[in-house]
Structure 1
Amino acid sequence: MPTPMERIVLAGRPQGSPTEADFRHEHTELRDPAEKEVAVETLYLSLDPYMRGRMDDAKSYAKPVDIGATMEGGTVGRVIATGSDRFAVGDLVVGQFGWATHGVLPANQVRKAATDYAPPSASLGVLGMPGFTGWYGLTELGRPKKGETLVVGAATGPVGQMVGQLGKALGMYVVGVAGGADKCRFAVEELGFDMCVDHRAQADTQAMRVALAEACPDGIDVYYENVGGKVLEAVMGLMNPFGRIPVCGMVAYYNLGGLGMGDAPGPNLLPRMWRTILVNKLNVHGFIIMDHWERYGDFLAEVGPMVKDGRIKYREDITEGLANAPAAFMAMLKGENFGKTVVQVAEDAA
């Protein structure tokens, strides 16, 4: 008997910020897995800022989601049928099964969830792609040194949480940037950041620069870039010579359209920024974590035990029900989430 399933598909290309009309909730049936494939029932769905770029029909590092296709996304699910000897029915696995209650993928595109260290949902956040992104970007591209100053954009998001805590573990002075007093308090009191600047309390770039200058009296050696906007504009004037900027994301620009390449409001700051990079001899390094997946095992071996024993803390923002994924996604793009945005699609019967 066919297995009924539900999915959220892309109904239209957003013009600016996504709306409910850009998504459609459909009922269909799950196909049986072929040889070397696995079928899963989704338990948790990850919502991440990169998905906004997939909604635009623009050139990027990955092809956009087609109109009428299932929205792309990482999930944790339990194997319900398998055509591969790599996985057994009942295994908890992680894969890009998308915004759906069930899915089928080649077994070589799936890995077991890291449940030796944390609950299943953590394999989408602190021990998944975001945590791995934070670890790689800081340790490989940020080249952190004890005593240096690290500033982390989107400090209480899943990437920022990892970056800031690893920076502290390495002996850095860590300043977060987050939206709201509650998030800043969490960054300092729970995650151990030295300071946190509330970007929502800063009226403009100049106010942001003053607040960051007060928080970073010795300048900034490493800026972990997740946001862009006035935070980036303020940071650039405070970077120390030979500073490093791993460029992970730019969520402030995503709703401009064309993967953030639309017309931004305000003056053209590119000449000033380019000159700052030159005269301060900065290393600005964009990266896509998919290009470095061979390092995931190193990350898990180092960070997994730190999560298990509480040295690395994390927070999740969980929404229940696949039908609520579009609303949770749109809220995340506005910074209304607090921690890693996850949708619980189903209860785990096991």
Structure 2
Amino acid sequence: MRSGPKNRRPLRDQIRVAPFLIHDVRRFGFALSPAQGRIEVNKIMNSTDRAEVRVGSASAITATDLCFSYSRQRQKAGRRSALENCSLSVPNGSIAALVGMNGAGKSTLMSLIAGILRPSSGVVRVSGEHGSTTAVALVTQDKPLYRNFTVAEMLRAGKSLNHVWDESRALRWIDAFGIPLNTTCGRLSGGQQAQVALALGIGKRPTVLLLDEPLANLDPIARREVTDQLIDEARDEGMTVLFSTHVVTELAGTADHLLLLDRGRLLLDAGVDDLLGSHVLIGEGAEGESRTGRDRATWRVVEAADAGDRETRRPTLEELVISYLGASKKLVSE
């Protein structure tokens, strides 16, 4: 039988380390890292340092010549730099997709933006303030909730560990997906655990919400339902959302800004409408249907200005992404 509230220690005494990556690194200069089971202290660097993290840009997120290299031990083991000279700008209020194959550097970039990792060089700026506090929330795929905590206790943890907290907002998200408050997190399904982690991130009232594939273990229908709900929440609250994914088929109708990352290098950084409007598909190869049923054997994405007089059609976002990744892979192999 569980002990009553009178016999339990205060929640702050029960929690050694925050079980989720939701933090206020711009004000307090630390991030809570469940993966390593300890608190990581990150220096808030001065303007004289080679690598800087600043607050107060016109865009929600900007980075200039951002680099991150592995330790010497990992480099000797054959690992390359995770990010190389990445410069980007994510507009305020946008729903931005960070797309790339596994190992492209998406999680590294998210961690740099959140302040969990220190860049080897370059500048990261995050805007949006609650008074003097900039709110950045990061929800990861691991969703490291305390298994013995009930959902209600996890929300209490969120309230205790964040200086900005909206209980009604977090409860509204939990209620929308029918998550029982009195159930321990260890007994929840993977999808339900994802909803609790998202509720914790949303309850922080962030101006920038970073989502590092927290919905990866949901089925496509559930992912679409949650994504639509997140978009509505972001637009209602004026949040900027940056979500990472390698499922390019689900981008259409979700993102209005695209960051395409490949092997640590940023290939694209622009609005989705601008990208689709400035590129076309040109047909190459034999006339007639191919074995795949398409009306030409091969289509290739090019910038509209380079199409000339050839027959063209507008690409889908999936075709655009795959074309750029394919061209980058071919360039590397050569």
Higher Rg of the two aligned structures: 2
TM-score class, shorter:
under 0.3
Give the TM-score of the pair, scaled to structure 1: 0.26
